[in-house]
Structure formats: C-alpha cells, structure tokens
A = this chain, B = another copy of it.
Amino acid sequence: MSSRSRTRAKRAPTPELLSLIAARFRALAEPARLAILHALEGQERTVTELVEATGLGQGNLSKHLQQLHAGGFVSRRRDGLFVYYELADRNVLALCEIMCGRLESDLVTSHKIVSTR
C-alpha cells in the first residue's frame, strides 16, 4: 500500500506560504479593487478622482486602497491634502491580462457571445 510518504510533491509549500499567496490573490478577488487598479492604469490618481472614476463610497474606497497598498499593488505619495495612488508593479496588469485571456477562451469555448459565426 505504500503507506508512507508516497506522495511525490516536488517541494512541500508550507501552509504559511500558501496563506500568503492566497491573501495576494484575495486582494484581486474583488470587482471594486480591480476597478481601482484599472483606473490607475498608466496614471496616478487621488482618492477623490478614484471615487469619481469607480463610483465607490469614499470610506469604502479608502479601505480598498489600504488593502491594495498592504499587498504591495499600489504605492502612495502625499502632496498637500491629496494622496496620489499609483500602480506599484506592472506584474499586476500581467496577472489581470492572463485572467482575461483565460476568461475569453472559456467564453468562446462554452458557446456564447463573441464572433458572429
């Protein structure tokens, strides 16, 4: 029965590591935060501008920004009263694009929208 460590895991990722990675993904697992990241694509913005761009409440938006900042997805810079947020890493966009790519594939595969055909 090969009772012992028959499992052929290449390297066992510790539960702590998995939790950290999962937390990162969780930061992107929210439409509101994706909208924020999209609004920051290519340009820095103040919280007020993001409120206008996303339609989120100010307090709510600020909380999302804290999460994105804690996750290292955005950086901030203070200028007087305003705080300017900007994307801290281009990998973020890469992640979203991969997801979008997967999404398109599945939508086409399934049998709906896209292409007249």
A-side interface residues toward B, CB under 8 Å? Answer: 6-10, 13, 15, 17-26, 28-31, 33-35, 38-39, 41-43, 49, 52-53, 72, 89, 91, 94-96, 98-103, 105-106
Contacts and interface: CB of A to CB of B under 8 A. Distances in A.
Question: Which of A18, A89, A91 has the most chain B CB within a 10 Å cutoff?
Answer: A18
Main secondary structure of the interface of A (DSSP, over half): helix
Nearest to A50: B7
15 contacts: A6-B52, A7-B39, A8-B43, A13-B38, A21-B31, A22-B28, A22-B30, A22-B33, A25-B28, A25-B99, A26-B26, A26-B29, A72-B105, A72-B106, A95-B95
Contact of A10 (B10, B29, B42, B49): B42
